[in-house]
Amino acid sequence: MLETDRIRAISLDLDDTLWPIWPTIERAEKVLHEWLVANAPMAAALFSSPAALRDIREHVATQRPELRSDLSAIRRESIRLALYRAGENPLLAEPAFEVFFAERQRVTLFADALPALEQLSGRYPLVSLSNGNADLERVGIARYFRAAVSAREFGVGKPDPRIFHAAAGAVDVTPDQVLHVGDDATLDVLGAINAGMQAAWVNREDHLWPHEQQPQLAVATLTELCELLA
């Protein structure tokens, strides 16, 4: 059961908690491909094959394990490798990645996200906690957050307890005073519980809970979360 009197801050996952991520990524990849067609057509041909693209990313992940928590770096180096394999200028990786990254920030928030951010930020300090590479300023929601912690900058991602502890420290509370809110049963919920936090599972698709250990709270929407915390 959720102990609301313990909550002094809330950490929030971003992708698939505040917005659906895959439509965003698919659109960004389409924009990237169009840019490559115009500027590096041989690399664009490589990127048009899902198998070739998967091979490139797997190669980068294997050869550069230090990048595993940095999705931006993996994406950038995958583009660079595709350019190199296609015999085109690897220096185009930077502008190509920027095309992708700019489009990746054009998210479509779930209908309940902004009202929830308004309400929750008025009551608790909020900190974003993400394994992804969303930029709160470019997305347009930075004003609701006291801090942002990402695997990209911190060096390790969820479910590692250290990144949850970093989120608590970013808003000057202890982990047991934080409610972490996220959609991923393993990365968000179990990660937060194992780090000493309470956890709220945002289950928008009515999935079955996959673990023996239970979250303190499960909700279908952020509106429901706000009502329970009111």
Tell me the pTM.
Answer: 0.91
What is residue 148's predicted lDDT score, i.e. its pLDDT? 98
Flag whether pLDDT at 76 surpasses 80. Answer: yes
Which helix (DSSP H) or strand (DSSP E) does residue 191 occupy?
helix 191-194
Mean pLDDT of 145-157: 95
Tokens at 45, concatenated: 């041909």
**pLDDT: is 152 or 119 the higher one?**
119
Identity (one letter) of the amino acid at 17?
T
SS3 sequence of 93-153: HHHHHHHHHHHHCCCCCCCCHHHHHHHHHCCCCEEEEECCCCCHHHHCCHHHCCEEEEHHH
- pLDDT at site 65: 87
| Rounded CA separation 210/199 (Å) | 15
- Burial of 168 per CB tally in 10 Å (0-12, 13-18, 19+): buried
Mean pLDDT of the chain: 95
Verify cis geometry, omega within 30 degrees of 0, for the bond prior to 50: no
Lowest mean pLDDT among 16-20, 151-155, 163-167, 207-211: 151-155
Question: What distance in Å separates the CA atoms of residue 65 and residue 45, rounded to the nearest whole number?
Answer: 27
Q: Which two tokens stand for residue 155?
A: 């060096």
Residue 47 in contact with residue 32, Cβ under 8 Å?
yes
Q: What domains appear along the chain, each with residue ranges and CATH number?
A: 4-19+108-229 (3.40.50.1000), 22-104 (1.20.120.1600)
Per-residue pLDDT, 50: 72
CB atoms within 10 A of CB 186: 11
* Mean pLDDT of the region 99-111: 97
Which residue, chain included where needed, has tokens 């185009």?
92
12 pLDDT above the threshold of 80: yes
Helices H / strands E in the chain, number of each: 11, 6
Q: What is the mean pLDDT of residues 185-198?
A: 98
* 172 band by pLDDT with thresholds 50, 70 and 90: very high
